Structure 1
Amino acid sequence: MKYIVNCLLALCVFVIASPVAVNAAEPTDGGAGGQIVRVITLAKDGPGSLADALDREGPRIIVFEVGGAIDLERSSLTITQPHVTIAGQTAPSPGITILRGGINVNTHDVIIRHLRVAVGSDGLPKRHGWEVDAFSTRSAHNLLIENNSFFWGVDENMSASGPRFTGDTVEEWREGTSRNIIFRSNLAAEGLADSTHPKGEHSKGSLIHDNATGIVFERNVWAHNVERSPLLKGGVEALMINNLIYDPQYRAVHYNLMDLEWAGHTPVDGQLTAVGNVMRGGNSTDTGLPFLTIGGVGDLQYYGRDNVAIDRYGNDLPMFGRYGHTRAQIIEQDAPLHDLDGYSIMPSEDVETVLLATSGARPWDRSEMEIRVLFYIAEGRGEVIDSENEVGGYPQFEATSAPFVEADWDLATMTPKSGIWPGQKDGAQEHLSPRDREMRATNR
């Protein structure tokens, strides 16, 4: 394990010279300028807990004076109060890991950084009926979900959802569901396949529900999910830049407007701009799996550039495919359908190296579960799983504590003024993620 850690830290050193992802127009400032709320207990609720901090009203920045695991005991945290920043980077090592539950966002103007979420089946029988997302939204807007690790979802790992139709017009539909969300530098891995979901197999990466717009996936890693990396439903407008999809089984990226769900409503074209993404097959991947497949009855307007799809041996895979004998078509476009200004876009050859060093929670202070998945991606190992027990079960973390000292932090960027992050092994700046270095340099 020490060898693995050293290899990943060496990757961080290499990445410093690589391009940095920058979105000039972030969707929200979260709780910037608001009250500092300290989490002082790992209890799932009650005074001083994360749940208590989330329930407070008004702009707030949530910081942590404890590190370890918050066991939700088969429940979920639901965020209903807007204007909040959850700064998981402030926790002492080993950071904050949420077990046996997930996070739901049902509001607006939220930033979540550097949390781990590990749902799992918790010993329940198959098809028990427990269906929990590691992360999801419902009619939420203006969110930044950045540098988190989402594991073992029994529904989806990292999704955005809401009602399909609210009102009578397309504009009203889009206003009523989730929108304007950036998913950046997250790790969404090992959605559980034959587990507790009542539908049976349900290893899913990301579901973007019908009519969601302004959805950005930038520099994320999906690994060992059967499908939905991501699935875009009817009328979705999305942008994918420099993501890595490893070992998808039946589908990687796919689009589907289903007549069964849209009956009585006129289909709306979806839009996808995909630039510099990499899909690499693994041990679970079907032979000949395409990068993008389409089903259903609605068309997808698509612009793609420098996207790569290869099997586990480096052989080219098809870019397009379909499922179902239906009328839906992928309509290729000559120009991007979304504004690419403000993004620093890597060539696809750099995506894997950079993302393995910088995606997921606390790149300077990895947990063993993240190290295992990232190193397996690098080596072409691992597979889709049915239970967390196949990979060692729930992680054990020692509870730690340390005071949060406001004067030591740049509260505008939530970065340490010293350049040394909680839990950083040797204080070397090489171990910062490129995104965090850019934030400090530009004081964003």
Structure 2
Amino acid sequence: MTTAQGSGLSRRGLIAGAAMAGTALTALEQLGRSRASAEPDVPSADPINYADPPPQPAAVIGNTVPAFPGAEGAGKLTTGGRGGEVYEVTTLADSGEGSLREAVSGDNRIVVFRVGGTIELESGLDVSGSNLTIAGQTAPGDGISVINNEFEIKGDNIIIRYLRVRAGDTMGTPIDTFKGEGRRNLVIDHCSVSWGVDECFSLYGNYDVTVQYCLLAEGLTMSAHEKGRHGYGGLWGGQNVTYHHNLLIHQGGRNPRYSFVEDMKQLVDQRYNVIYNHGFTTAYGGEWAEGINMVGNYYKPGPATLAGVASKILSADRGGSWYVAENLVEGAEDVTADNELGIEFPPGGIDLRAEPVRFADSLPDRTAEEAYEEVLADVGCNIPRYDSVDARLLADVRNGTGRLINSQNEVGGFPVIDGGEPPVDSDHDGIPDDWETEHGLDPEDPDDAAELADDGSGYTNLEVYLNSLTSTGPSPSVSITSPEPHRVFTSTAERQQVTITAQAEGADGAAIESVEFFVNEELVGTATSAPFEFTWPAATDGTYYLVARARDSRGAKTDSTGTPIHVNQTSDLGAWTSTDIGDVAIPGSAFIDPVTNDVVLKGAGKIQGRTDAFQFLHQRLPAGENDVIELVARIDGIDRTYEGAYAGLMIRESLEPDSPYFTGGLSWVASGYKGIVSRISYSGDEASVGPYPWEDEELDVQAYWLRILKRGTEFECHLGTDSLQWTRIGYERIPMRSDRMYIGLAVDANKEANAIEHYTVGRFSALRLHG
């Protein structure tokens, strides 16, 4: 049936003027969401002329043997490097003989690993060869991990299994982690992909593809992207493509985004995936798609999921054709019973199909509940074993924990991947000697690896060996029991002691051999027996993330969920008073340098009208009808913890959260600042908010001067790059009823409608108060 519901503006439209009507951060959210949704590709007005797909690889034509047992969906008949040369990766170096980069540069290869550990990329890694199998399950020890840059598929007929790719923010550039476009016949299986600055996993615009049992995690939210809040799940789509049994976890947006490609059909089967702790969007896009199935997926809102998103399955762009059914949304029984209630329809509507798009290689039916358990039991790079990051992520899903992160350093940094010893392989055919002997092969004959196995499966002997490898076992459990999240340590001393206590337990009878303690990415201590405890002796002022890493007697490791704490140095405030206004989850703090009088102000919450919550450093002054009060200060910086973090100057009638006020300051948007002026009088629930500059333009990140004043009932805010030339960015008339008012510095952390708290640090200097 065709549905044409919808209200408001298109997701692509910039909501001009919204900031004047809503709160400051609602306006910023609207701006950010329009940017997050925008895509450069739009259809032309010409008739649709679909491009021919790349030629079917010769090895695939006529093939009836799946890529491996358990391969399903549109790419299942991909052959990869079947029967080709065996290339041994023997070094963790970025390039050169025996490197992964060299291995994937040629055609007709099965890539096996004689070394385990971490490959630190010095530039993006292009998989430029075709007819390739990358068998990550052959790496000894903990397996293989590829970090620091992009991993891009540029060949056809490729199978990639049991590989970790974790980009991270080391490069300081807006990179994807894993991507590929315009390719044919791909299977990506049991890979763990995380820490993208742009997107984590953007495999779209391809033909005949399966992505299955992949763990796609933790795009970096406020990192090096020029658009600010980013780090998304990925761009998906293509012609004859299946995404099944994957886990999207701790992704702010694009869970996924179905991206339009001008000259190809969008025919996609997305089913039996788990989406956990999606921040501010679930799936969206799919404009003019010929047919996308969303079936049997399991949506589990988490601490970072916005209340308005928790019950959403899809926010479709106009014109697409969709089949949405049998999806389960935890906490939204009505949506689970009727998936149409979880669809946000666009202006112009979509075609909501009565029957799914049919694919030649369909998956067996199962319920969303069954898919949830299947995913958590087997997703990600679990051969040879999970690393400590993946073990943490799976525990987060079970326990309902975790958050969106800005850097991998907030969760312990890149984990150590133990190398281990490879098995003896005398003929270097990819099959260990003992396995060859056990199965009647010759350990001295390299040619028998490419021969068809005598079991009638259609696989070569090497493939049978690769398909026989299994995980070494489950991971331990670990959690930090003290301090609790967002514990504030306050002292006038420059350094404080922080004692960290963890609880750890082995699985399947394994004993805990050690617990390592990390502050951000730095290892600060180790405990080898219970109680697992360490005292960090010299914590200086700042926000830190604590992680405990448990190692058991089998060598398996698990990280705890990152625990944020705040170390605040305080001082004598003189005539100023520090007050948390309203209901803030993290106590604020103020420090005035006794020599320079510079101010460091920290706080949580959100300034939003009738229910303000923020940190306020203030004095109370006479402010009658004929009094003029004025405060001038320089904002030297705002920590970039989250989009919308605010620091500014304020005048308010009282310290109650519903008091009339006038405030002006700076707020983080994208890669720069916006000037923000917000105000509310006695009646009405919503503050009036105005940004500066008014359009998309941003202010450079530098120090700015601010000036706020009250003259009778008139309030003004001025902004400048020095204290001599000012631009008025806000004005209001508020007939406040008190003849004494509070004036001072304010910070908030853009508290949103979820369970996550942020902490803003504003740095001020050169304060001048008149009144």
TM exceeding 0.5? yes
Mapped partners of 2:179, 2:97: distance in 1? 25
Mapped partners of 2:236, 2:351: distance in 1? 20
For structure 2, the residue ranges without an aligned partner over 5 or more in a row are: 1-69, 437-452, 454-458, 476-507, 509-771
Mapped partners of 2:206, 2:468: distance in 1? 35
Larger-gyration structure (1/2): 2
In structure 2, what residue type is equivalent to 1:69?
Answer: T
2:142 alignment counterpart: 94
Is the 1:22–1:344 contact (alpha carbons within 8 Å) kept by the matching residues of 2? no
Residues 231 and 146 of structure 1, relative CA distance in 2, 3 Å threshold: same
For normalisation by structure 2, the TM-score amounts to: 0.45
Higher strand proportion (structure 1 or 2) = 2
**Highest RCO, 1 vs 2 (Cα 8 Å, sep ≥ 6):** 1
Is the 1:152–1:192 contact (alpha carbons within 8 Å) kept by the matching residues of 2? yes
Is the 1:151–1:189 contact (alpha carbons within 8 Å) kept by the matching residues of 2? yes
Residues 364 and 86 of structure 1, relative CA distance in 2, 3 Å threshold: closer
Mapped partners of 1:315, 1:40: distance in 2? 54
2:84 alignment counterpart: 34
2:243 alignment counterpart: 217
Q: How far off its partner does 1:27 sit?
A: 4.2
1:8 alignment counterpart: none
Match for 1:120 among 140, 164, 168? 168
Match for 1:377 among 397, 400, 411? 397
1:351 matched to 2:394: no
1:12 alignment counterpart: none
1:153 matched to 2:214: no
1:241 matched to 2:271: yes
1:406 matched to 2:456: no
1:436 alignment counterpart: none
Is the 1:69–1:96 contact (alpha carbons within 8 Å) kept by the matching residues of 2? yes
Deviations along 1:179-198, one digit per CA (max 9) or x if unpaired, are: 22111100000011110112
1:200 alignment counterpart: 228
1:326 matched to 2:347: yes
Give 1:3-402 correspondences, 5 Å limit.
Answer: 22-23=72-73, 26-56=76-106, 58-73=107-122, 75-122=123-170, 128=172, 130-161=173-204, 177-208=205-236, 212-234=238-260, 236-257=266-287, 268-289=288-309, 290-295=312-317, 298-311=318-331, 319-322=341-344, 326-327=347-348, 329-339=349-359, 341-362=361-382, 365-402=385-422
In structure 2, what residue type is equivalent to 1:294?
Answer: A
Q: How far off its partner does 1:419 sit?
A: 4.6
Mapped partners of 1:111, 1:203: distance in 2? 26
SS in 2 for 1:101: coil
Is the 1:97–1:116 contact (alpha carbons within 8 Å) kept by the matching residues of 2? yes
SS in 2 for 1:43: coil
Mapped partners of 1:48, 1:364: distance in 2? 21
Residues 363 and 85 of structure 1, relative CA distance in 2, 3 Å threshold: closer
Q: How far off its partner does 1:361 sit?
A: 0.6
Is the 2:300–2:329 contact (alpha carbons within 8 Å) kept by the matching residues of 1? yes
1:263 alignment counterpart: none
Is the 1:27–1:181 contact (alpha carbons within 8 Å) kept by the matching residues of 2? no
For structure 1, the residue ranges without an aligned partner over 5 or more in a row are: 1-19, 162-176, 258-267, 431-444
Is the 1:191–1:204 contact (alpha carbons within 8 Å) kept by the matching residues of 2? yes
Is the 1:208–1:231 contact (alpha carbons within 8 Å) kept by the matching residues of 2? yes
Is the 2:139–2:384 contact (alpha carbons within 8 Å) kept by the matching residues of 1? no
Is the 1:224–1:248 contact (alpha carbons within 8 Å) kept by the matching residues of 2? yes
2:697 alignment counterpart: none
Higher helix proportion (structure 1 or 2) = 1
Mapped partners of 1:143, 1:181: distance in 2? 5
Q: How far off its partner does 1:109 sit?
A: 0.7
For normalisation by structure 1, the TM-score amounts to: 0.77
Mapped partners of 2:418, 2:289: distance in 1? 50
Mapped partners of 2:334, 2:301: distance in 1? 10
SS in 2 for 1:52: helix
Deviations along 1:393-429, one digit per CA (max 9) or x if unpaired, are: 1111233331455263776473538955475689xxx
SS in 2 for 1:32: coil
Is the 2:144–2:417 contact (alpha carbons within 8 Å) kept by the matching residues of 1? no
Deviations along 1:157-178, one digit per CA (max 9) or x if unpaired, are: 11124xxxxxxxxxxxxxxx52
Is the 1:21–1:345 contact (alpha carbons within 8 Å) kept by the matching residues of 2? no
Deviations along 1:8-38, one digit per CA (max 9) or x if unpaired, are: xxxxxxxxxxxx7744861410111100110
Mapped partners of 2:408, 2:467: distance in 1? 38
| Percentage of identical aligned residues | 28
Is the 2:140–2:421 contact (alpha carbons within 8 Å) kept by the matching residues of 1? yes
SS in 1 for 2:242: strand
Mapped partners of 1:60, 1:380: distance in 2? 42
Is the 1:92–1:423 contact (alpha carbons within 8 Å) kept by the matching residues of 2? no
